[in-house]
Structure 1
Amino acid sequence: MEMFASFDDSVFLEARDRVPVTLSAYDAKVCEPEWFCETSALHTEDPLEKQKIYKFRGDLAVRRGRHQEALDAYSSCQEWIADNNLTIRRDVLEGMARCCTKLGQRDRALDFANLLSKEVSNTCHLTSLLLLKVSIYQHFGAVGSKMAALQRLCSLLPFNPWHWHSLGQTCLQLLGDNTTGSCFPERCDSSEEQNDGGSEEEQPNDNRIWLKACTCFIRTRLLLRILRQQQSSFVLQRTETTLRMTDEALQRLSPKETTLQALTEVLSEDLIPDKMREDYQDGDSLANVCVQSFRERWWNKSLLADGLDAPC
């Protein structure tokens, strides 16, 4: 059997007219550590270089905990970002929002977050934006708005157990503070309320919050039990730790066995291995995010499950 019978002989001939290419000399640019901090670094007319210098200065200041210095550097960086460089623009806006959060400037932080929301074009952008909002709300104790943002995250990424666990912990916090009569000083964020189909947390009901907490922790437990089958090392350790915390939370909530079974059945309906693959989930389109509010998709399912009686 002639393995190479189908190849033309010319394939194996040497090229006769091959023109030799001479590479020009190339001198790599050598930069000293923190070269962008030098005053002389700004003695350039190149807008891209100035953008890089201010961006690097801001990032370094954040790493050192100098948030006002970082905010000033990011503000200067904005002036030199090209209109078509959306990636750097988003990165800088997020950095400014986080700096304002650390500096206690809640309204400015939310304003920068809202600027980011105008440039959301895919689910990755929306995920980053919601995580940013969660961190802002958490820093300022705005539990209601934080809960709304987490609900949108769970709608966007329904198979992510960490978002469900965070939402459950927020429900516990809200439930605990309601029983002590605490209130939360927070700026009302109408965008979160609209995306969540209204703000039910304005007039909290302990029984409903209790049911939401049970729902979140049961969903967390279902997802983590599936994930740990394919995990090892420190990733598995994190999962096991979160599972223990989830079980402890459910023990404190003390749902009846009928409630536990009914919720488990309802919350596991969509846990089909093929649907849980990453390549199955849409990462480019936002069309599926706003089809149903979180309340319609999850809370109402829990309410309609048989035998759900919150403890007195």
Structure 2
Amino acid sequence: MEIFGSTFDDSVFSEPRERVCESLSSFTAKLCEAEWFCESSSSDTDDALEKQKVLKFRGDLALRRGNYQGALEAYSSCLQWISDNNLSIRRDVLEGMARCCTKLGQKDKALDLAELLSKEASNTCHLTSLLLLKVSIYQHFETTRSAMSCLQQLCSLLPFNPWHWFSLGQMCLQLLDSDTTTESAAGPEENQEETAELKEDQIWLKACICFIRTRLLLKILQQQQSSFVLQHSEKVLQTTEEALQRLDPTETTLQALTQVMSEDLVSEKMREDFQDGESLLSVHLQSFRERWWNKILLTGLLETHQLPETS
């Protein structure tokens, strides 16, 4: 009886076959001069894809150089050469056009382009980019409350991202420092629930919860950071602490707000809510008011609070 594994295949002792090395055809990489796409002859082609690349590159370069009118013209020409199934390039070009219109003072056109992007948004990455675009448009035209609405939606979409919370807190401070606390709510395209007018003491309270949430999230993230990333977090954390000192909530208020804003900051919950890139059809979002603001109002802090001097 043969023991399993005690025999060898004859092929083990056979002579190795000689390998025939077939010569490969020579390959020469295509070399392009710097800014080759700026030459007038580069767009003289019948290839739609090549035209799209040339015009897209021209628009990107013009935008980077601050030539917003030239970039807008290049992007507009590029749009007609983009194939229907190339959604990523189409979204990139539309966003570039919206940013150009913003810089050129064309608010309505910029928002119309953002609306086109919203109709084509199919996942959370698309929605995140769209909301950030709207924030930049509204900030440029000093429509602070509409920008706040978009940031609140970003906080609901990505609740564990400290940078959106920090930006929202900074906008609340801007409102406290300005005379725009009576500014009208956002346009009809925005969520009216998120943009209802807030009184000065409500803006103060919202600023507090944003900076408290920022501080909580940054302290969690710092455990996994190093180098310049950690340095940036420490700098923002210091700015956050200074903002809270300026807002000057009482110790009781600070503890109560910290308890509410830290309820969902557990590792299991944070992993479950990671939804970057998920289809919007499978994502259920609670509004900012439902998830945090109503809980804060239930604490009764607003009724017992006396607004400190923030100027």
Q: Same-fold call, TM > 0.5? A: yes
Change beyond 3 A, Cα 1:25–1:244: same
SS of the residue corresponding to residue 251 of structure 1 reads: helix
SS of residue in 1 equivalent to 2:33: coil
Mapped pair 1:209 → 2:207: no
Q: TM-score when scaled to structure 1?
A: 0.88
* Cα distance between partner residues in 2 of 1:190 and 1:182: 19
User: Is the contact made by 2:194 and 2:287 (CA closer than 8 Å) also made in structure 1?
Assistant: no
Indicate which of 263, 266, 269 corresponds to 2:260: 266
Structure 2 unaligned spans of 5+: none
Aligned to 2:226: 232
SS at match of 1:127: helix
The answer to whether 1:126 aligns with 2:124 is no
Residue 199 of structure 1 deviates from its aligned partner by: 2.6
**Equivalent position to 2:305, from 292, 307, 310:** 310
Aligned to 1:67: 68
* More deviation, 90-99/224-233: 224-233
1:26 positional shift: 2.7
Residues 181 and 161 of structure 1: is their aligned pair in 2 closer, same or farther, counting only changes over 3 Å?
closer
Give the CA deviation at 1:97.
0.5
How far apart in 1 are the matches of 2:211 and 2:7? Answer: 63
Q: Which of residues 243, 252, 265 in structure 1 aligns to 2:237?
A: 243
Alpha carbons of structure 1 residues 258 and 53: separation in structure 2 relative to 1, 3 Å: same
The structure 1 residue matched to 2:191, chosen from 190, 193, 209, is: 193
Are 1:31 and 2:32 matched, yes or no? yes
- AA paired with 2:204? W
CA contact (8 A) 1:54 1:73 kept: yes
Q: Which amino acid aligns with 1:191?
A: E
What is the aligned partner in structure 2 of residue 253 from structure 1? 247
The answer to whether the Cα contact below 8 Å between 1:93 and 1:116 also exists between their aligned partners in 2 is: yes
- The 2-side partners of 1:85 and 1:206 are apart by 47
Name the SS of the counterpart of 2:264 in structure 1: coil
Deviation, 1:282, is 4.9
Alignment of 1:96-107 (within 5 A): 96-107=97-108
5+ long unaligned stretches in structure 1: none
1:94-151, Cα deviation, whole Å (9 max, x unpaired): 0000111111111111111111111111101111111111111111100010000000
**Matching residue's letter, 2:196:** E
- Amino acid in structure 1 at the alignment position of 2:305: A
**CA contact 1:221–1:243 (8 Å) conserved in 2:** yes
Deviation at 1:306, TM superposition (A): 5.3
SS in 2 for 1:270: coil
Equivalent residue in structure 2 for 1:298, among 286, 292, 296: 292
RMSD, aligned CA: 2.8
Verify the 8 A CA contact 1:210 1:310 in the aligned structure 2.
no
TM-score if structure 2 supplies the norm length?
A: 0.88
Distance (whole Å) between structure 2 residues aligned to residue 97 and residue 12 of structure 1: 71
Change in CA separation of 1:43 and 1:287 when aligned onto 2, cut-off 3 Å: closer
Q: In the superposition, relative to structure 1, how do residues 92 and 262 fare at CA in structure 2: closer, same or farther (>3 Å)? A: same
Q: Secondary structure at the match of 2:191?
A: helix
Q: How does 1:150-189 map to 2 (within 5 A)?
A: 150-177=151-178, 180=179, 184=183, 188-189=186-187
Alpha-carbon distance, 1:8 to partner: 6.3
**Cα distance, 1:20 vs structure 2:** 6.2
Residue identity in the other structure for 1:193: N
Matched residue, 1:51: 52
* Residues 42 and 54, structure 2, Cα contact 8 Å, conserved in 1: yes
**CA–CA separation in structure 2 for the residues paired with 1:7 and 1:305:** 79
